[in-house]
């Protein structure tokens, strides 16, 4: 029972790291980026290639996944995404679906369609007993890492100069520009951060979520649920939503496996009917 709760929390934390980049682009920058999962997939494949082909340690792969994905994010933002900030949502949806299709086919071409496996370092494998609760070492690792990231992210957004610049740029781009904030650089850096986090999440999730070319579509719905249910005005909303979703999904799969994905979709639709702007939306938010 408590083990399921623990696994659910680990799963939720992982989902949060994967989705929080999306909650920034979608919530703060108002860009419907359905290709977010493609960045996560990139992070996962970077880890797989580094570990299995070059034998690099898992711990080095994580920052590498973050930085390489962030770099890809910046490149795409500068060349393509930037032009679409002002376009209609339909254009953004079409563009990002196109990107998803291309990434799926490209990964299939280079890496093949099979499930990718990595072997974790020995100290992260297995479980230990803690007051009768079975705790997976790797899941504990994820929880600690993700909790640290969440706190850092929350502090960065609320306490630092960059965070206030970002909030200013989002609230009113013209005035922020008038005050001497370089809005397009702020957006580019934010986008890089978001995609980097997705890449990191993808690297961490290779073991738990599995990795194959259909990853972006398979987990798109999870990311979107986290963001839409959590509301897009803060970090805490998606965080709570991700935890709830993680626990509900793990518990649902364990207790009522035949219900499959019904519970999640059903809950999401119910929430969206009752609270169209998410559970924790601030009034008048976008």
Partner 1 sequence: MSDKALSASETASGLLKRAGRWQIWEIALWLIAIAMIFVLPSKMLILTEITILALFAVSLDLILGYAGIVSLGHTAFFGLGAYVAGIFARDYVSEPVTGLLVAGAVSGLFGFVTSFLVLRGSDLTRLMTTFGVAMLLAELANQAAWLTGGADGLSGVMITPILGLFEFDLWGRNGYIYALVVLMVLTFIARRIVNSPYGLSLKAIKRNPVRAAMLGISPTRRIVVVYTIAAVYAGIAGALLTQTTSFVSPDVLAFHRSADVLLVLVIGGTGYLYGGIFGAIIFTVLRDWLSVITPQYWMFWIGLILIIIVMVGRERITRWQAFLPGSARAERLKARKAAEDVR
Binding mask 73-112 for partner 1 (x = CB under 8 A): -------x--xx--x-xxx-xxx-xxxxxxxxxx-xx---
Residue 217 contacts partner 1 per CB under 8 A: yes
Question: Of 78 and 277, which CB lies nearer to partner 1 in the complex structure?
Answer: 277
Site for partner 1 in 121-140 (CB under 8 A): none
Compute the least distance from the CB of residue 122 to partner 1, in Å. 38
Q: Please report whether residue 225 would count as binding partner 1 according to CB under 8 A.
A: yes
Report if residue 282 touches partner 1, rule: CB under 8 A. Answer: no
Least separation in angstroms between CB 219 and partner 1? 12
Q: Is 221 in the site for partner 1 (CB under 8 A)?
A: yes
Q: Is 281 in the site for partner 1 (CB under 8 A)?
A: no
The DSSP string of the chain is -HHHHHHHHHHHHHHHHHHHHHIIIIIIS----TTHHHHHHHHHHHHHHHHHHH---HHHHHHHHHHHHHHHHHHHHHHTGGGGTTS-HHHHHHHHHHHHHHHHHHHHHHH-SSPP-----GGGSSEEEETTEEEEHHHHHHHHHHHHHHHHHHHHHHHSHHHHHHHHHHH-HHHHHHTT--HHHHHHHHHHHHHHHHHHHHHHHHHHH---TTHHHHHHHHHHHHHHHH-SS-SHHHHHHHHHHHHHHHHHHHH-GGGTTHHHHHHHHHHHHH-TT-TTPPTT--
Q: Which residues bind partner 1 (CB under 8 A)?
A: 26, 32, 80, 83-84, 87, 89-91, 93-95, 97-106, 108-109, 217, 221, 224-225, 228, 258, 260-262, 265-266, 268-269, 272-273, 276-277, 286
């Amino acid at each position: 029972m408590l083990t399921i709760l623990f696994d659910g929390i680990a799963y939720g934390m992982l989902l949060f790291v994967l989705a929080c980049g999306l909650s920034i682009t979608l919530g703060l920058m108002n860009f419907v980026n359905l290709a977010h999962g493609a960045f996560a997939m990139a992070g996962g494949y970077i880890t797989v290639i580094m570990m299995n082909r070059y034998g690099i340690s898992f711990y080095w792969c994580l920052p590498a996944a973050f930085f390489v994905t962030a770099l890809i994010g910046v490149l795409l933002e500068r060349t393509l995404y930037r032009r679409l900030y002002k376009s209609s949502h339909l254009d953004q949806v079409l563009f990002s679906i196109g990107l998803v299709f291309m990434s799926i086919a490209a990964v299939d071409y280079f890496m093949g369609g099979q499930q990718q496996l990595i072997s974790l370092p020995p100290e992260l494998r297995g479980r230990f007993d803690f007051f009768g609760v079975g705790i997976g070492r790797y899941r504990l690792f994820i929880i600690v890492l993700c909790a640290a990231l969440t706190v850092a992210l929350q502090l960065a957004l609320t306490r630092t100069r960059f965070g206030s610049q970002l909030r200013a740029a989002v609230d009113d781009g013209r005035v922020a520009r008038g005050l001497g904030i370089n809005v397009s650089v702020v957006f580019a850096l934010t986008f890089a951060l978001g995609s980097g986090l997705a890449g990191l999440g993808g690297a961490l999730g290779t073991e738990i979520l599995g990795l194959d070319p259909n990853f972006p579509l398979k987990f798109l719905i999870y990311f979107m649920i986290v963001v839409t249910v959590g509301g897009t005005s803060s970090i805490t909303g998606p965080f709570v939503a991700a935890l709830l979703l993680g626990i509900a999904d793990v518990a649902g799969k364990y207790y009522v496996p035949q219900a499959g994905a019904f519970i999640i979709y059903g809950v999401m639709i119910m929430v969206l009917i009752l609270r169209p702007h998410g559970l924790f939306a601030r009034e008048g938010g976008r």
